[in-house]
C-alpha cells in the first residue's frame, strides 16, 4: 500500500508497482531485511510510487481498448518475475463456527503477464504467514523454495 497518512481509514486499495532491489548476495539475514525495508519505505514515500498508484487508478477509468493495450505493453518485455504483497491482518483472534482460526495463509495469484512467482505475507494475531504461488513450468522447485523461506525466517528469529 502507498496510502498516505491523511488517507488512513479510506476504503479501497492504494497500490503501486515498485521495483525494490533484493540484496541476495548479502550473507547477514538481518542486514538483508533492513536494506529491503529501507528501500521499500523510501520508494513508497517517493513521488514515483504516487505516480504509479495514480496510473493504476486511472486504468480503472480507461476504456477496455486502452486497458488491453496497457496490459500488452507491460507484458513485453517481461519487466519482473516476482510479486510480493504484505497484508497486515487482524491482531486479535478470529473464529469460524465457534472455533478459533489458528493460521491464515495469503494467496496472491500469478498475473496474466506470466510472472513466475507470487509471495503473500500476512500477519495475524502475533504470527506471520507466507503463501507462495508459482508457475511450475518456470520453477519446478517451488516446494524447495517454501522450505528455504521457512529457513530464512528461522535465521531471523
Alpha carbon 141 to its chain centroid, in Å, reads 20
Q: Give the tens place of pLDDT for each residue, 44-75.
A: 887 766 666 556 566 666 677 766 666 665 55
**C-alpha dihedral (61, 66, 71, 74), degrees to nearest 10:** -110
- Closest C-alpha to 139, from 120, 119, 116, 109: 116
Q: What is the pLDDT of residues 10-23, one digit of tens each?
A: 766 666 677 888 99
User: Which sequence spans correspond to the domains of the chain?
Assistant: 1-61, 79-157
SS3 (DSSP) at 105: coil
Could you give the CA distance from residue 133 to residue 131 in angstroms, rounded to a whole number? 7
As a whole number, the mean pLDDT across the chain is 82
Give the three cell numbers for residue 130: 507466507
Lowest mean pLDDT among 8-12, 23-27, 51-55, 107-111: 51-55
Quick: pLDDT tens for 130-150.
999 998 888 889 999 999 999
- Mean pLDDT confidence for 72-93: 76
CB-CB contact of 119 with 85 (8 Å)? yes
Give, in order, the Cα–Cα distances in Å from 135 to each of 92, 109, 126.
Answer: 34, 10, 30
Amino acid at each position: 500500500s502507498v496510502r498516505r497518512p491523511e488517507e488512513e481509514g479510506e476504503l479501497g486499495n492504494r497500490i503501486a508497482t515498485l521495483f525494490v532491489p533484493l540484496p541476495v548476495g548479502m550473507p547477514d539475514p538481518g542486514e538483508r531485511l533492513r536494506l529491503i525495508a529501507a528501500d521499500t519505505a523510501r520508494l513508497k514515500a517517493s513521488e514515483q510510487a504516487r505516480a504509479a498508484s495514480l496510473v493504476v487508478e486511472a486504468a480503472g477509468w480507461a476504456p477496455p481498448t486502452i486497458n488491453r493495450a496497457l496490459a500488452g505493453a507491460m507484458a513485453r518485455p517481461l519487466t519482473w518475475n516476482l510479486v510480493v504483497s504484505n497484508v497486515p491482518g487482524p491482531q486479535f483472534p478470529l473464529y469460524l463456527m465457534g472455533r478459533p482460526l489458528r493460521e491464515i495463509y495469503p494467496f496472491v495469484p500469478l498475473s496474466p503477464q506470466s510472472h513466475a512467482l507470487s509471495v503473500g505475507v500476512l500477519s495475524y494475531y502475533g504470527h506471520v504467514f507466507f503463501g507462495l504461488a508459482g508457475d511450475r513450468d518456470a520453477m519446478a522447485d517451488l516446494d524447495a523454495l517454501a522450505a528455504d523461506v521457512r529457513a530464512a525466517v528461522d535465521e531471523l528469529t
